[in-house]
Amino acid sequence: MTVAEYHYISPGPVADAFLDSEAFIDGIRGPIGSGKSTAAVMKLIKIANAQVVQADGRKHSRIAVIRNTYPELTTTTIKTWHQWIPESVGHWRASGPPTHHIIDDNIDMEVLFVSLDRPKDVRKVLGMELTAAWVNEAREVGKSLIDGLTGRVGRFPPKRDGGCVNPQIIMDTNPPEVDHWWYVLAERDTSSQRNADLVQSVIDAEKEMRAAGLLKRNQPLFEFHAQPDANSPDAENRVNLPSDYYAKASAGKSEEWKKVYIRGEYGFVQDGRPVYPEFRESLHVKLFEFNPRLPLSIGIDFGNTPAATIGQRTFTGIHRVRWEVVTEHMGAKQFAVVLKGFIEERVPNFEISSITGDPAGDADSEHNIEDTCFKILKANGVDAKPAHTNEFTVRREAHAQAMMRIIDGEVGFQVHEHGCPTLRRGLAGMYRFRRVQIVGDERYHDKPDKNSVSHVCEADQYRMLGCGEGRVVLRGQLGAKRIRPAYSLT
């Protein structure tokens, strides 16, 4: 199996540079329809063909293909893969996780498809010995996943069988926001201390790897490729698209959408229906500090990407969220250590009135969350209690009602301008209901999409429940039922 056998027509010079790059971590971003994902598939085939022939006469490779959610993995990533390598080639297994094992005269290539919302699959891939990995739509994943993969690629085939010729982590994406790790590293943005530290960490890592002989002489650790504006004469993949592709794609779209998906510029686009249409950055984002005379409240969401928010209710009843703690691929014990350290560093002298967490926990957990995570947290100095309900409507309304209150001329819910960047993005629209794909109808799923902002948003929902806002919502619902007239038809 070679790239030539698949009659691949190059999208353009940027995709070619991505395909030819030997960077250890190699990324390409661009507009929709620009051939990014196809170029990634071709690069995986190229990596497989570059391996050493072993005793059985075949080149062996093992590759992980990663997407943020299982629905997107199956409806987008795997479909792209099968456009080039059909299920009939080799052995295709559609579940547990999906795997494609391709064996022919000179290739033995095992491809494992993994979604980040299935923790068991994530644990499996981060324990595997891989040749390479492809992260599809990398703007939806945290850098911690990339960091985890760096220790997994290059370990198959083993050295005794010739080793891995060119281990790589490849990534493709539509443009992320300007505070995303991709932007920070690709543009070498050092405008904040956080960004400067991230850029410096990559510079230091590259020096260490080069000194240890883990990189070839001129091989970069990271390389990023940016495709041109789809409206420009240099636009890539036009030859493979209908002539009116971008005109139809742009119809009825906002300028921000066109900026990201057509012009290929960094930005944020709401996709789906926001969970909190009540939230307005101009109203709810403020600069403030905690009152040292008042206690704090903390909310926690568990699962594979635990998160916490730290807030305070003022004397007048305004909820203010000052800090967030956002992690990825972290167990309860490690998260407890991180959260406890954050509290001791940022708010060491404050009383904490409540620490409230998800009573249900991760659906993939093998044990009841209340019998595990809460006990682990307590054993490590974080005395959290389960919320009285996990009902989504109650959690959402606990937030939304506070957002709509006006108290002494101020809104009843406020987020700090600098202390909660992930929560801000979520409340502003990234925490959303996914659109249901029904032709001719505008419908959405009844539960929010799991993505990079959902965990911290849900952590703050539990914090609000711990402050009693959920019971206020329930009392209102019960009261409404009691006063409903007997002749009501609703």
pLDDT tens, position by position, 438-477: 333 444 456 788 888 899 999 999 999 999 998 877 776 5
Q: What is the pLDDT of residues 181-215, one digit of tens each?
A: 999 999 999 987 778 989 999 999 999 999 999 99
pLDDT of amino acid 371: 53
Q: pLDDT (tens digit, 9 = 90+) per residue, 334-391?
A: 999 999 999 999 999 999 999 999 987 544 444 444 457 898 899 999 999 999 999 9
Range of 190's domain? 3-249
Q: Is residue 69 pLDDT above 90, yes or no?
A: no
Backbone angles phi, psi at 41, to 5 degrees: -60, -45
**Predicted local distance difference test score (pLDDT) of residue 231:** 95
Q: Looking at the domain assignment, is residue 267 inside a domain? A: no
Q: Which one of 216, 249, 282 terminates a domain?
A: 249
What's the token pair of residue 457? 């948003």
Rounded-to-integer distance, Cα 107 and Cα 211, Å: 33
Average pLDDT over residues 243-253: 94
Specify the number of domains making up the chain.
2
**For residue 257, is it within any domain?**
no
The per-residue pLDDT for range 72-126, each reduced to its tens digit, is 999 999 999 999 999 999 999 998 899 999 998 899 999 999 998 777 778 888 8
Q: Kindly report the CATH number assigned to the domain that includes residue 360.
A: 3.30.420.280
Q: What is the mean pLDDT of the chain?
A: 88
Q: Same domain, yes or no, for 238 and 294?
A: no
Instruction: Indicate if 240 and 108 belong to the same structural domain.
Output: yes
The pLDDT, as a whole number, for residue 22 is 96
Can you give the pLDDT at residue 170? 98
**C-beta separation of 462 from 300 below 8 A:** yes
Same structural domain, 136 and 278: no
Q: Are both 472 and 415 inside the same structural domain?
A: yes
d(CA 107, CA 101): 10
266: in domain: no
pLDDT of residue 435: 58
- Pair (335, 233) in one structural domain: no
Domain identity same for 192 and 152: yes
What CATH number should be reported for the domain holding residue 230? 3.40.50.300
Shared domain check, 308 and 211: no
Residues 465 and 324 in one domain: yes
